[in-house]
Amino acid sequence: EAQVTQNPRYLITVTGKKLTVTCSQNMNHEYMSWYRQDPGLGLRQIYYSMNVEVTDKGDVPEGYKVSRKEKRNFPLILESPSPNQTSLYFCASTPRAFSGRVADNEQFFGPGTRLTVL
Amino acid sequence: GQQLNQSPQSMFIQEGEDVSMNCTSSSIFNTWLWYKQDPGEGPVLLIALYKAGELTSNGRLTAQFGITRKDSFLNISASIPSDVGIYFCAGRHGSSNTGKLIFGQGTTLQVKP
C-alpha cells in the first residue's frame, strides 16, 4: 500500500530534550516536505527536499533541522525543543516538485505527529 | 512568510445546502490546489488548477482559478454529512520553481443532518 508513515504519532517531551520525528514514503517520490499545523494558521512549511541531499528552508525553519540521505526518509530534528514548537506536524511527499501534470501534484500526507513540549 | 487569506474561517450549514469558500493573495500564483482534511488525518488533494480562468469539477466540488491569478474559490453543491472537515487552499508562486506551497488558514465546515 502506497503511504507516508510518521513516527511517533504522539509525543510529550520537555524543553531542551532533543527529539527526532521520522518520515518514510514507499512511493519513490522525489519531493518531501514537513509542515506544522496550528489553529488559525493553517499549514506552514518548515523544510522541504527536492531530492536526495537537496533540502531548503520553508516559511518557519527556525528551531528545526532535516536531512535527506535516502530518497524514502526525511526525518525532522528538534535539537532543543521549546514550548512554542508544540504543534501538529505533517510530513508529505509528491512525485516531483510540482509540474503541470496533475499526477505530479498529488501530495500525499502522513497521519500527523502531535507534539507537546512542556 | 506569506499566507493566503482564506474565508470564511468556519461554516455551519444544513445538509443539502451549497457551500462556497475562497482564497486571495497579494501576489500572483501559477498553481492553486484545494485540500480537505478529515478529523485526525492528513490533508487530501481535491482539485488542482493551473491556468487563469480554469474551472474544474470533482463530483459535487467545483473550483476556479481567478482571472487575476490572485484568487481561487471552491464550491460544494448539495452538501452531505461526510463533507465535514477542514478545507485548505494552497498556492505556488508564478516565479517559483522550487515546489514550495503556501497554505491558507483553512475553512472548517460542519454539516447538520
Q: Where are the beta strands (DSSP E) in chain B?
A: 5-7, 10-14, 19-24, 29-37, 44-49, 55-58, 61-65, 71-76, 85-93, 102-103, 107-112
Q: What average pLDDT is seen over chain A?
A: 92
- Residue B101 confidence (pLDDT): 80
Give the closest-approach CA distance of A45 to chain B in angstroms: 7
Which residues in chain A are contacts of B102 at CB distance < 8 A?
45, 59
Cβ(B113)–Cβ(B13) below 8 Å = no
Say if B33 is an interface residue toward chain A (CB within 8 Å): yes
Q: What SS3 state is found at B12?
A: strand
Residue scoring higher pLDDT (A98 or A14): A14
**pLDDT value, residue A94:** 87
Print pLDDT tens along chain B (113 aa). Answer: 566 899 999 999 999 999 999 999 988 888 899 999 998 889 999 999 988 999 999 999 999 999 999 999 999 999 999 999 999 999 887 555 566 788 999 999 999 98
Beta bridge partners of B6: B23
pLDDT, residue B98, reads 60
pLDDT at B96: 52
> With an 8 Å Cβ cutoff, are B48 and A105 in contact?
yes
Cβ atoms A92, A113 nearer than 8 A:
no
If interface means Cβ-Cβ distance under 8 Å, which residues of chain A face chain B?
4, 31, 33, 35, 40-45, 48, 50, 56, 58-60, 90, 92, 94, 96-98, 100, 102, 105-107, 109-112
Which residues of chain A neighbour B92 with C-beta distances below 8 Å?
98
Q: Which of A44-58, A63-77, B48-62, B89-103 has the lowest mean pLDDT?
A: B89-103
Answer for the pair B57, B77: CB distance below 8 angstroms, yes or no.
Answer: no
Q: What is the mean pLDDT of residues A16-44?
A: 94
Task: Look at B1 and A59 and tell me if their CB atoms are within 8 Å.
Answer: yes
- Shortest Cα distance, chain A CAs vs residue B84, angstroms: 17
Residue with more model confidence, B24 or A106: B24
Smallest CA–CA separation between B1 and chain A, in Å? 5
Structure confidence at residue A95 as a pLDDT band (50, 70, 90): confident
Q: Is the pLDDT of residue A102 over 70?
A: no
Residue to test with chain A: of B65, B100, B105, most A Cβ within 10 A? B100
Residue A117 pLDDT greater than 90, yes or no: yes
Size of interface A-B (CB pairs under 8 A): 75
Average pLDDT on A88-105 reads: 77
State residue B40's pLDDT score: 84
pLDDT reported for residue A1: 81
Query: Band of the pLDDT at A32, cuts 50, 70, 90?
Result: very high
> Which residue is it, cell 536526495?
A52
